[in-house]
């Protein structure tokens, strides 16, 4: 709790009106990689409390956001409350998209941590796999995909699977990501027009 209260990015988030310090992670990655443009369609997976959606909407994107938890309304953001691991939420998300293919899929999803490292890593990678499967099935050709992952078992295999789907795959560790955390952001740039079959989640 003391670390959170004294965190400079938590203080900056309050000053800028952002809902979470995570907003600065996306902001830094976007500044470097130029992912978000006005008028583009962005899908934000694991959106609550809304920091990433705020950044995307601020830059003029149309955002469709999804999370298991409630999220207060944000101008320019259509929010769906549901469990991304279930069929119902995915079906509703597809209905909202109404056949439109997003230009960018972003995922800051993470499981509720149990404290058992092996189990937490497996659950985190499962969410990453689901997000990649969604991106492969819905992104327009040439679209980009940004996902939070934790380095550990399954990570290298996941990066390899992303390389099958995107022309370029890089990792980013933004300054707002705590040094002691194993989290990194994996960015797939320019979804291939002819790709291998979308990986199935396990």
Domain CATH for 47: 3.40.50.150
Q: Annotation-wise, does 108 bind a ligand? A: yes
Question: 45: which residues sit within 8 A by CB, 6+ positions away?
Answer: 66, 67, 84, 105, 106, 107, 108, 109, 131, 134
**Residues 85-128 pLDDT 10s:** 999 999 999 999 999 999 999 999 988 888 898 999 999 999 99
Rounded Cα distance between 142 and 54, Å, is 24
Q: Is 160 a catalytic residue?
A: no
The residue segments making up the domain with residue 89 are: 21-191
pLDDT tens-digit series, residues 116-160: 989 999 999 999 999 999 999 999 999 999 999 999 999 999 999
13 lies in some domain:
no
- The answer to whether residue 11 sits within a structural domain is no
Torsion of CA 133, 53, 65, 38, to 10 degrees: -80
At CA 131, angle to CA 125 and CA 137, rounded to 5? 135
In a domain, 16, yes or no: no
Predicted TM-score (pTM) of the model is 0.89
Domain count, the chain: 1
Question: Is residue 7 in some structural domain?
Answer: no
Q: Does residue 5 sit within a domain?
A: no
Which residue among 25, 62, 140, 148 is the active-site one?
148
Confirm whether 199 is domain-assigned. no
Q: For residue 156, is it within any domain?
A: yes
What mean pLDDT, rounded, does the chain reach? 91
Q: Which residue reads 């670390």 in tokens?
A: 3
83 labelled ligand-binding:
yes
Q: Is 186 within a domain?
A: yes
């Amino acid at each position: 709790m003391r670390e959170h209260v004294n965190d400079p990015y938590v203080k900056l988030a309050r000053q800028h009106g952002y809902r979470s310090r995570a907003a600065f992670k996306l902001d830094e990655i976007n500044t470097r990689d130029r992912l978000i443009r006005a008028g583009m369609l962005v899908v934000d997976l694991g959106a609550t409390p809304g920091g990433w959606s705020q950044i995307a909407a601020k830059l003029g994107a149309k955002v469709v956001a999804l999370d298991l938890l409630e999220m207060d309304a944000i101008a320019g953001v259509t929010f769906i409350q549901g469990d991304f691991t279930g069929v119902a939420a995915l079906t509703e998300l597809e209905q909202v998209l109404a056949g439109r293919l997003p230009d960018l899929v972003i995922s800051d999803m993470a499981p509720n941590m149990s404290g058992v490292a092996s189990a937490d890593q497996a659950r985190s990678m499962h969410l990453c796999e689901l997000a990649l499967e969604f991106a492969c099935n819905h992104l327009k050709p040439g679209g980009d995909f940004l996902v939070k992952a934790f380095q550990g078992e399954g990570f290298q295999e996941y990066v390899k699977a992303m390389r099958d789907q995107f022309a370029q795959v890089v990792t980013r560790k933004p300054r707002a990501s705590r040094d002691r955390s194993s989290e990194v952001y994996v960015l797939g740039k320019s979804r291939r027009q002819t790709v291998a079959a979308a990986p199935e989640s396990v």
